[in-house]
Amino acid sequence: MGKADGFLKYQRKEAPSLPPAERTQGFQEFHLSLKEAERREQGARCMNCGVPFCQSAFGCPLKNLIPEWNDEVFSGNMRHGLSRLLKTNNFPEFTGRVCPALCETACVCGLNDSPVTIRENELSLIEAAWENGWMAPSVPSVRSGKKIAVIGSGPAGLAAADQLNSRGHSVTVYEQADLPGGLLMYGIPNMKLDKTVILRRIEKMKAEGISFICGTKAGRDISAKSLRDANDAVVLCCGAGIPRQLEAEKEKPEGVYQALEYLTASTKAVLKRESPAVSAGGKTILVVGNGDTASDCVATAIRQGARSVKQLVRKPAPVEKQIAWPHPGRLQRPDYAQEEAQAVFGEDPRMYQTEIKKFISDADGRLTSVIISTCGKESELPADMVIVAAGFSGADPETAAAFGLSLNERNRLGNAAYETGENGIFVCGDMRRGPSLVVWAIAEGRECAKKADRYLEGYTNL
């Protein structure tokens, strides 16, 4: 603990962002950086608690060594801080951008003051590493001779592949999309997670010996039998991307889209610098949902030039209240998408205690309006396009069935030991745990890699 009174001397200061009206003009990341002296002050606010709840079960699923690298940030020893950070987190550049910072909710400093800027300190460490050339490929000196197929290249699959490759196993990652990254690539818009950040990491993993085969769905484009025959183990990390359906979607007219379908089209258009296949430009948009994905759809629609955007939320408006500490939930932060809607349209887009009861379409089957219920009172809203961001119901049963496996009653696969019941086949991430956070997916991939490594070698030092 380099600054014993840092939490008393310095106030929390977050990295600045571009003004909402300005950042909606494009899909570039809009968060800026603090100056080095300011970042060191934020590291100094860490109290080096006797019991650091930030890295406990209340805080970080990865059990990051947070007080240790906060101290290194304060001291200016960024490379030492990086060494501590990478011991527990394979991809800090992802979590440093999109994690809701459960660790900050559990920060002791937040009891009587604002918590430490843990997530931003983490991001400053890893970005300093990339800028200074400290992230050179690390190729295993000895290969085990064992082959592993990882099915899915989301954060869980990437973490499992990275860990297993570090043990000297030969790892091939199969991804059904045209680019690796899973929901990191196509489920999170570019302004939150620039895709060059993902591709930068993928190139490093390739240089370390990991193979990526994209545009290939296991069980369809390549048989499960051939994967099992060619490999000593298989790790399934296929996510839980089956979307929840609205009751009104039984009669779905043209103009109603699932959130992932919409966000994928947007990201592909950004990457290819072309018009998106599904666009909100010039349209009256309704977004259904209240989570991060719904916010991403609101922000994307604004950037595409929507005429108006409303967000329909089933729950009542949140009430500010004191929450018992430590609380493993999220900090109550102003959401970036609602800030942008306020700046562009002059009002918060959210309509609480509201749900769609019926879609109205014209003679050609195109959406024209919806019947909504707000606190039990029905009314009609005009709409050219509805984006449903109501969450996910579970994993795709097709891949599981191809390997002779069945999803459980919660549409998940596997047990607490990351096993599927089939010898040599393991599972992790959202496919096992259910829809969750990027930080949990990385933790799942790391733990599953231990199980697979122990199966292959009889022990593990991961």
Domain positions in the chain: 6-131, 147-241+393-457, 248-390
What pLDDT was estimated at residue 248?
Answer: 82
**Taking all residues of the chain, what is their mean pLDDT, rounded to a whole number?**
94
Average pLDDT of the segment spanning 60-68: 96
- Give the pair of three-digit tokens for residue 164: 């297993």
pLDDT tens digits, one per residue of 70-122: 999 999 999 999 999 999 999 999 999 999 999 999 999 998 899 999 999 99
pLDDT tier at 252 (50, 70, 90 boundaries)?
Answer: confident
Q: What is the pTM of this model?
A: 0.95
Give the Å distances, CA to CA, from 412 to 159, 181, 235, 415: 20, 21, 15, 9
What pLDDT was estimated at residue 323?
Answer: 54
Q: Cβ neighbours of residue 232 under 8 Å, at least 6 residues apart?
A: 146, 147, 148, 169, 424, 456
Q: What is the CATH number of domain 6-131?
A: 1.10.1060.10
pLDDT tier at 1 (50, 70, 90 boundaries)?
Answer: low
pLDDT tens digits, one per residue of 2-11: 688 999 999 9
What pLDDT was estimated at residue 157?
Answer: 98
What pLDDT was estimated at residue 335?
Answer: 86
Q: Evaluate if residue 212 carries a pLDDT over 70.
A: yes
Is residue 419 helix, strand or coil? strand
* Strand ranges for 215-336 from DSSP E: 233-236, 242-243, 256-258, 284-288, 308-312
- Give the pair of three-digit tokens for residue 180: 């690796």
Assigned CATH class of 248-390: alpha beta
pLDDT tier at 220 (50, 70, 90 boundaries)?
Answer: very high
What pLDDT was estimated at residue 331?
Answer: 47
CATH pick for 147-241+393-457 out of 3.90.190.20, 1.10.238.10, 3.50.50.60, 3.30.2310.20: 3.50.50.60
What pLDDT was estimated at residue 320?
Answer: 59
Average pLDDT of the segment spanning 259-283: 96
d(CA 331, CA 106): 10
In CATH terms, are 147-241+393-457 and 248-390 the same topology? yes
pLDDT tier at 247 (50, 70, 90 boundaries)?
Answer: confident
Q: Evaluate if residue 57 carries a pLDDT over 90.
A: no
What pLDDT was estimated at residue 328?
Answer: 47
Q: Evaluate if residue 127 carries a pLDDT over 70.
A: yes
Q: What single letter denotes the amino acid at residue 177?
A: A
pLDDT tens digits, one per residue of 336-377: 999 999 999 999 999 999 999 999 999 999 999 999 999 999
d(CA 44, CA 74): 5
Q: Residues 418, 451: contact at Cβ < 8 Å?
A: yes
What pLDDT was estimated at residue 58?
Answer: 80
What pLDDT was estimated at residue 2?
Answer: 67
Q: What single letter denotes the amino acid at residue 156?
A: A
Is residue 25 helix, strand or coil? coil
Percent of the chain whose predicted confidence (pLDDT) is above 70:
96
Helix axes 438-457, 155-166, angle to 10 degrees: 40
d(CA 70, CA 76): 10
d(CA 357, CA 380): 10
| Residue among 181, 220, 252, 257 nearest 401 (CA) | 220
d(CA 163, CA 62): 14
Q: Evaluate if residue 403 carries a pLDDT over 70.
A: yes
Give the chain's largest Cα–Cα span. 71
Percent of the chain whose predicted confidence (pLDDT) is above 90:
90
pLDDT tens digits, one per residue of 305-343: 999 999 999 999 876 554 556 654 444 555 899 999 999
What pLDDT was estimated at residue 239?
Answer: 95
What pLDDT was estimated at residue 329?
Answer: 47
d(CA 408, CA 395): 10
pLDDT tens digits, one per residue of 131-182: 999 999 999 999 999 999 999 999 999 999 999 999 999 999 999 999 999 9
Judged by average pLDDT, the poorest of 35-44, 215-224, 239-248, 358-367 is: 239-248
Average pLDDT of the segment spanning 181-208: 97
Q: Residues 359, 370: contact at Cβ < 8 Å?
A: yes
Give the Å distances, CA to CA, from 122 to 128, 316, 349: 10, 34, 32
What pLDDT was estimated at residue 111?
Answer: 87
Average pLDDT of the segment spanning 283-294: 96
- Give the pair of three-digit tokens for residue 59: 């805080």
